[in-house]
């Protein structure tokens, strides 16, 4: 039975490199110069066994390749919006638990086949699209949640756990006016820039914009396959580093404190990167846990390379109120610019983690326990928070002070 192996190492006297959650380009460039001057042959190292020198796929793209948002935005027609509204009314008439929303219980006879085509695009095409636009004001919060889950079930029918007590829906919103920094362990609940990353344990990440920021907060995506090609050509040593086991901070959620797994995989002819920077640097109320071996200088450079290359090749999405964004979390990085809210306009997104058994990619052995944990929830056990809360996984360690 596969598992993510707990790491138990003897005392490690290395020192954590000078690296924080917010990437510093000057430090990245200086580290690169220093490491290559110390060992010029790094760039001559071979790629790991079975890793290709280049991948060629519609999933390989740069932001400059996209000329018009009509290439990735599907604009819902009046007839399709009426069909969605009818599906909301139909599901409510059944009296079923929201966790039972599915293509069968949320019928979209015309739009449904189109959404299946878009799901194919997610899995085997460019890896992203946006639905535009749901009339937010026309629905109660509970119906908005129902509508979101219902539409998404036609894209990928399995919803993944994001929180305790069966929580499959998250709210992405600045909560720093309510919670002190010590209580917040993830940037999703701040106005801070969120660096390029993937979410943990999910095929598809979906975001639904209930409201946009007053200023900033641009949603950015980037092809991790394009980043891989760049690294394979110019820095094969960093590909090797990413494909080796890393000590991943579990922030006290497991008895061992951390687990070990690669960040980069070549599996069934596909490149898969699964990483988030905060697991190696900490963030606010969840600093890096004591007792975990520090990352290496090579790993620090690799983390920065992923972010800055992703930024170079990225696409900024014009995410509007009522839009629903879907991305392939196995091949696309996502990030967010810092933003500013005011009393009249506050950025607020809903998020779902999804998997489609029919189109979903096979998951590498080392990652399967994450997927098993994420999708280990029955429909009747699913809960859908109607108001923003900090997910249990990113609550700060301190419990004193302001709630």
253-268: pLDDT as tens digits: 777 789 999 999 999 9
Q: What percent of the chain has pLDDT over 90?
A: 90
| Average pLDDT along the chain | 94
Q: Which pLDDT value is given to residue 256?
A: 76
Q: What is the mean pLDDT of residues 118-132?
A: 98
> What pLDDT band is residue 12 in, cutting at 50, 70 and 90?
low
Q: Is the pLDDT of residue 402 over 70?
A: no
Q: Is the pLDDT of residue 8 over 70?
A: no
- C-alpha pair distances (Å), 393 with each of 79, 269, 366: 40, 32, 21
> What pLDDT band is residue 313 in, cutting at 50, 70 and 90?
very high
- State the residue for tokens 């993830």: 186
> What pLDDT band is residue 57 in, cutting at 50, 70 and 90?
very high
DSSP strand pairing (315-317 vs 167-173): unpaired
Q: Is the pLDDT of residue 274 over 90?
A: yes
Q: Is the Cβ–Cβ distance between 88 and 150 less than 8 Å? A: yes
For 208, the token pair is: 């639904």
Residue scoring higher pLDDT (265 or 3): 265
Q: Output b/e per residue, 298-336; b: 16+ Cβ within 10 A.
A: bbbbbbbbbbbbbbebbbebebebbbbbbbbbbbbbbbb
Q: Which pLDDT value is given to residue 194?
A: 96
Q: Which of 172, 210, 158 is nearest to 394 (CA)?
A: 172
Q: What percent of the chain has pLDDT over 70?
A: 95
**Structure confidence by residue, pLDDT tens digits, 180-223:** 999 999 999 999 999 999 999 999 999 999 999 999 999 999 99
Q: Is the pLDDT of residue 3 over 70?
A: no
Backbone φ and ψ for 259, nearest 5 degrees, come out as -125, 170
**Structure confidence by residue, pLDDT tens digits, 142-179:** 999 999 999 999 999 999 999 989 999 999 999 999 99
């Amino acid at each position: 039975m596969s598992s993510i192996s707990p790491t138990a190492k003897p005392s490690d006297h290395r020192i954590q490199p000078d690296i924080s959650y917010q990437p510093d380009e000057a430090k990245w460039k200086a580290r690169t110069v220093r490491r290559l001057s110390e060992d010029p042959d790094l760039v001559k190292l071979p790629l790991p066994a079975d890793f290709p020198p280049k991948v060629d796929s519609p999933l390989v793209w740069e932001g400059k390749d996209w000329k018009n948002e009509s290439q990735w935005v599907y604009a819902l027609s009046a007839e399709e919006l009426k069909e969605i509204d009818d599906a909301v009314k139909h599901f409510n008439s059944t009296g079923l638990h929201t966790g039972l929303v599915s293509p069968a219980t949320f019928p979209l006879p015309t739009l449904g086949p189109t959404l299946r085509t878009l799901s194919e695009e997610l899995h085997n095409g460019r890896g992203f699209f946006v639905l535009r636009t749901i009339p937010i004001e026309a629905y109660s919060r509970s119906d908005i949640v129902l509508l979101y889950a219902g539409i998404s079930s036609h894209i990928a029918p399995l919803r993944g756990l994001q929180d305790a007590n069966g929580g499959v829906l998250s709210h992405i919103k600045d909560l720093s006016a309510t919670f002190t920094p010590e209580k917040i362990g993830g940037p999703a609940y701040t106005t801070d820039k969120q660096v390029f990353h993937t979410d943990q344990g999910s095929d598809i990440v979906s975001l639904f914009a209930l409201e946009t920021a007053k200023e900033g907060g641009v949603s950015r995506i980037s092809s991790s396959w394009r980043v891989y090609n760049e690294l394979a050509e110019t820095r094969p040593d960093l590909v090797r580093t990413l494909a080796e086991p890393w000590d991943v901070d579990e922030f006290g959620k497991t008895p061992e404190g951390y687990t070990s797994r690669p960040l980069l995989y070549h599996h069934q002819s596909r490149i898969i990167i699964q990483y988030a920077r905060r697991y190696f640097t900490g963030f606010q109320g969840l600093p890096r846990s004591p007792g975990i071996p520090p990352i290496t200088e090579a790993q620090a450079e690799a983390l920065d390379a992923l972010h800055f290359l992703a930024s170079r090749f990225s696409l900024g999405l014009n995410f509007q109120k009522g839009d629903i964004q879907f991305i392939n979390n196995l091949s696309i990085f996502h990030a967010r610019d810092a933003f500013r809210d005011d009393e009249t306009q506050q950025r607020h997104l809903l998020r779902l983690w999804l998997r489609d058994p029919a189109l979903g990619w096979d998951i590498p052995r080392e990652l399967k326990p994450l997927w098993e944990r994420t999708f280990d929830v029955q429909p009747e056990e699913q809960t859908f928070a109607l108001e923003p809360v900090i997910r249990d996984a990113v609550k700060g360690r301190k419990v004193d002070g302001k709630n």
